């Protein structure tokens, strides 16, 4: 439990993170080290990511009846990141002690839902690579879509800050959702002025989320890392999703694939996208999903874009959810606690499968490292 919390802190707030990530690191470090918080987290099954569920429960309950002293440490959409405060951990510990019953109830009743719209920064270059090779209109199928924020990636604006000090941008400059990241390494991601056009969009989730429900929207907001840019882009993306309702299917990711296929016209290119979803599938379901994609590839062309941590999740990881090999130093980085998302692409054309790792990225969209060739 404590190791999981420390890994989350290290992934979101590594030594080179912007100062605005201090509260995220402080929250999960406290969960790893403070007895009151550890006891609450220990009551949550490990596969439900207890530190993340507890962090969301704290924020959710804090908005209802938390002390102003503690609430002031958290950023608000469109605001600024409050500066580091030595009083945060004592205040958090006291809140956990006084509200233990309510926090335990929230942890039992909810599951963690990370709708990080910033991960579209990782998906757009991958889709651009697909569109550069295939002129067919894209049918975007967002797997584990949650609130459906990823279904609107063509309605956002993107800025990629390159190592040489220049920038590449894409998308709608006037969009309320402004996404940006630092590009690490020596390669430029293939960012066109406009994201690839989406002809059809469809979400799939075991539990699609209704953003018109106030309590649901509040819980999703509580799941966002307490970093000002993250909470700001989430709030803006929620408004876009509310204004452009996209259909979602309820069901298991594997079992629903035949239904997904039946919904699509034959002249579109099926593009399956998942971000931080397949990493949480049990091994047998992940194998079943790979086999289902292979079967689809026997009857129509398909792309599968994945942004997921290495599997199995944790320091013993050996590869990607798509079965692709990664550089040995990435395995070392993962063992050292630096969890990141691997951007992978699997293409099936005329029944022939090929796959490639395109890059890796910060789980909260702070940086992107593109490794694929031009």
Residue 149 sits in the same domain as residue 122:
yes
Residues of the domain holding 84: 2-109
Number of domains within the chain? 2
Same domain as 19, residue 151? no
Q: Is the dihedral of CA 311, 317, 322, 327 positive or negative?
A: positive
- Asked if residue 62 and residue 125 are part of one domain, the reply reads no
66 and 139 together in one domain? no
Same domain, 49 and 184: no
Angstrom distance (rounded) from CA 150 to CA 129: 18
Question: What DSSP letter does each residue of 137-155 carry, written as one string?
Answer: PEEEEEET-TT-GGGGGGG
Asked if 30 contacts 93 with a C-beta cutoff of 8 angstroms, the reply is yes
For residues 135 and 240, state if they share a domain: yes
Summarize pLDDT for 37-85 with one digit per residue, the tens.
999 999 999 878 899 999 999 999 999 988 999 999 999 999 999 999 9
Strand partners, 297: none
Same domain, residue pair 194 and 275: yes
Predicted confidence (pLDDT) per residue in 4-14, tens digit? 898 888 888 88
Q: Is there a single domain that holds both residue 231 and residue 301?
A: yes
Q: Are residues 87 and 174 in the same domain?
A: no
Domain-terminating residue out of 86, 109, 132: 109
pLDDT of residue 229: 93
* pLDDT above 70 (res 337): no
Q: Same domain for 215 and 121? A: yes
User: Taking a C-beta distance cutoff of 8 angstroms, is the pair 244, 155 a contact?
Assistant: yes
Q: What pLDDT was estimated at residue 201?
A: 95
Q: Let me know whether 15 and 137 are in one domain.
A: no
Last residue of a domain, one of 109, 133, 159: 109
Tokens of residue 316, six digits? 């013993």
Residues 95 and 17 in one domain: yes
The per-residue pLDDT of the chain, averaged, comes to 93
Tokens 């956002």 appear where? 156
pLDDT in tens, 160-192: 999 989 999 999 999 999 999 999 987 899 988
Boundary residue ending a domain (73, 89, 109): 109
d(CA 188, CA 191): 8
């Amino acid at each position: 439990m404590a190791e999981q919390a420390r890994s989350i802190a290290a992934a979101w707030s590594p030594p080179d993170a912007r100062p605005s990530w201090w509260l995220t690191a402080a929250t999960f470090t406290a969960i790893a080290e403070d007895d009151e918080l550890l006891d609450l987290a220990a009551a949550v099954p490990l596969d439900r990511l207890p530190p993340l569920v507890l962090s969301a429960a704290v924020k959710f309950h804090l908005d209802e009846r938390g002390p102003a002293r503690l609430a002031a440490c958290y950023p608000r959409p469109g605001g600024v990141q409050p500066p580091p405060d030595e009083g945060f951990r004592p205040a958090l510990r006291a809140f956990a002690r006084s509200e233990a019953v309510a926090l335990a109830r929230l942890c039992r009743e909810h599951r963690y839902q990370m709708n990080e719209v910033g991960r579209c920064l990782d998906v757009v270059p991958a889709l651009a690579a697909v569109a550069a090779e295939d002129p067919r209109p894209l049918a975007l199928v967002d797997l584990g879509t949650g609130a459906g924020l990823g279904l609107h990636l063509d309605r956002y604006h993107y800025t990629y800050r390159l190592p040489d000090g220049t920038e590449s941008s894409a998308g709608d400059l006037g969009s309320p959702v402004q996404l940006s990241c630092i590009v690490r390494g020596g390669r430029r991601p293939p960012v066109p002025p406009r994201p690839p056009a989406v002809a059809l969009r469809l979400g799939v989730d075991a539990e699609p989320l209704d953003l018109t429900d106030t309590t649901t929207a509040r819980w999703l907001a509580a799941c966002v890392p307490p970093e000002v840019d993250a909470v700001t882009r989430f709030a803006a993306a929620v408004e876009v999703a509310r204004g452009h309702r996209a259909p979602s299917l309820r069901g298991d990711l594997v079992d629903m694939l035949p239904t997904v296929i039946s919904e699509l016209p034959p002249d579109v290119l099926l593009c399956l996208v998942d971000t931080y979803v397949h990493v949480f599938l049990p091994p047998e379901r992940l194998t079943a999903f790979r086999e289902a994609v292979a079967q689809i590839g026997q009857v129509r062309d398909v792309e599968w874009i994945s942004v997921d941590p290495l599997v199995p999740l944790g320091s013993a990881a050996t590869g990607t959810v798509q079965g692709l090999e990664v550089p040995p130093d990435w395995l070392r980085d993962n063992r050292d606690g630096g969890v990141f998302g691997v951007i992978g692409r699997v293409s099936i054309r005329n029944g022939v499968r090929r796959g490639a790792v395109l890059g890796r990225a910060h789980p909260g969209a702070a940086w992107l490292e593109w490794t694929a060739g031009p």
